[in-house]
Amino acid sequence: MAFASGHSRRTVVGVVALLALAIPTTSAIAATVPVDPGPALSAGKVIIGTSQNLPSLEVTAAWNIGSYAAPQVSAYYTSGQAAIDQSSVTKAALSWTKNWVNRACGSQKPAKVKACKAAAVFDIDETLLSNYEWISTLAVPFSYDSAASNTANSNCTTPPIKATVALFDAFKRLGVTAFLITGRSENSRAVTESCLAKSGITGYSALILDPVGNTQNAGDRKADQRQALIEKGWKIGPSVGDQISDMSHGALGRGFLLPNPMYYLP
C-alpha cells in the first residue's frame, strides 16, 4: 500500500492496478490500490482508486491505448461505469478529507479550516474536465493528436466531470482551499481559465501549469509544485487526479486516483 515520497524519486512508479477493460457488472467501490514502491522506500502515501487505469509498462514517456481497445474503452464511458467509478473515488475523497481537517485543523468549521490553510490539489484533464468525447472520435481513436488537443482546449469541448466538480464545491463549503496543478502548458493559461469558468469551476486559489521549457516529468514537477505550496504554509490533504504522477513523491496527505483507461502519463 505504501507509495511514493521522500528522497528516492526514481524508484517510485509502481504499477498501479491493472487495466481492467472488461466492464464490471456491479458498481465499483473505491478501494486502496496496491502499489509497490520498491525496496528503497519504507514509508509512503496511500492511494485510493478503482483500478480503471493504465499501467506504466515500464515506459518513461506518455502512452495512449490506441484504437485496438476502442470499443471497450468507449463502452466504459458510455455505459455509465466511468461515472460510477468517478463518484466512488470522489465520495471516498470527501469522507477522508472531512476526517483529515479534523486532524489537521482541529475542527470542521469552514472558518477554522480556511484559517489553518487546509488545501486540496486537483489535476484538470480527466479529473475536472473530460477529453473522452474528442479523443474517442479521432480518426485513430485514443491516439494522441496535439493539434486536436489544442483545439479542444481552445474551444472548451471538454465537459466537466460532475463527480469531481461536486467534490471541488464540497471542499469549498468545508473551507478547504483548492489548487489546480495541471500538465497543460503555461501557454494555455487563458483558454484553460476561460473553460474552467465556463464549466462552473471557480474559486480555486491558483492555477499552476507546466512552465514553458520545463523538462521534468509530470510526477517530479507536480511534487515540486506541491512542495512549494507547503513551503508557503499550506497543508495539503488530498491530491485528486487520474494519473499516479498526480500523487507521486509525497507532499500530500493522500492520493485519490480517478479512472483513465485512455492514456498514461509518467
The answer to whether residue 242 forms part of the interface with Mg ion (CB under 5 A) is: yes
Residue with Cβ nearer Mg ion (97 or 243): 243
Our CA angle for 181, 48, 170, nearest 5°, is: 60
Smallest separation, CB 107 to Mg ion (Å): 32
Smallest separation, CB 124 to Mg ion (Å): 6
- With CB under 5 A as the contact rule, which of the stretches 61-69, 70-78, 169-177, 241-249 interacts with Mg ion? 241-249
Distance of alpha carbon 35 from alpha carbon 15, whole angstroms: 6
Q: Say whether 89 sits in a helix, a strand or coil.
A: helix
Tell me the site size for Mg ion, rule CB under 5 A. 4
Smallest separation, CB 40 to Mg ion (Å): 27
- With CB under 5 A as the contact rule, which of the stretches 10-18, 41-49, 70-78, 239-247 interacts with Mg ion? 239-247
Closest CA to 210 of 191, 235, 182: 182
Closest CA to 127 of 93, 97, 177: 93
Whether residue 242 contacts residue 82, with contact meaning beta carbons closer than 8 Å, is answered with: no
Smallest separation, CB 186 to Mg ion (Å): 17
Smallest separation, CB 6 to Mg ion (Å): 24
Distance of alpha carbon 98 from alpha carbon 114, whole angstroms: 13
Smallest separation, CB 123 to Mg ion (Å): 4
CB atoms within 10 A of CB 187: 13
Q: Say whether 164 sits in a helix, a strand or coil.
A: helix
Smallest separation, CB 197 to Mg ion (Å): 19
Strand partners, 181: 208
Site string for Mg ion, 103-142 (x = CB under 5 A): --------------------x-xx----------------
Q: What is the per-residue burial (b if ≥16 Cβ within 10 Å, else e) of 219-250?
A: bbbbbebbeebeeeebbbbbbbbbbbbbbbbb
Residues between 179 and 198 that touch Mg ion (CB under 5 A): none
Residue with Cβ nearer Mg ion (107 or 143): 143
Residue with Cβ nearer Mg ion (45 or 222): 222
Site string for Mg ion, 199-238 (x = CB under 5 A): ----------------------------------------
Write out the H or E segment, with its range, that includes residue 224: helix 218-231
Residue with Cβ nearer Mg ion (5 or 158): 158
Residue ranges that bind Mg ion, judged by CB under 5 A? 123, 125-126, 242
